[in-house]
Amino acid sequence: MIQVGERAPDFTGLTGDGKRLALGDFRGKQPVVLYFYPKDNTRVCTKEACMFRDHNAEISSAGGVVIGVSGDTAESHQKFSSAQSLGFPLLADRDATIAKAFGVARLGGWLPPKRVTFVIDREGVVRKVITGELNANVHVDGALEALRELSQH
C-alpha cells in the first residue's frame, strides 16, 4: 500500500456522469481526499459516503476535494450519488487499476477494494493514510485533520 511521504500514483477514471477525471487535474491546485470503498448501496459504504457529503463544506473550506473510488459501474455510481445527494465524484474502477496502483485491491481486484482513505497534497504526495474497514467515522475525521494541517503550512 502507498505510504505517507510517497508520491500518489497518477490515474484517470470515469465518473458517474461519464466525465474523465485525473489526479493530475488537481496537482498544484488543491489537496485531494481519495477514498476507496467496497461497494455502492451497502450499509457502511453508504454511511461513509454520507459522512463525506455532510462534511464536504468543511473539506472544501480546508482547501480539499473528495473523490470516491470503487469497482462499481459508472451507472451504479450515478444512481448511488443521486440517491444520497453526494455532491462529489465517484470513480468507476471496474478493472481495479486504481486500487492496484494504491495497493488496496484485494485478490488482484477480484474482490472489492479495502476501505482506505489517502489525503494527497497539492504536489501529489500522500500526507495521510486512514484505514478502518468497519469504522466510517475515522476516514472523515482523519481527512479533515490532515487538511487542516496542510492548510497551516
Which residues are known to be catalytic? 45
The Cα–Cα gap between 103 and 82 comes to 29
CA nearest to 8, candidates 119, 124, 146, 101: 124
Residues 6 or more apart whose CB falls under 8 angstroms from that of 43 comprise none
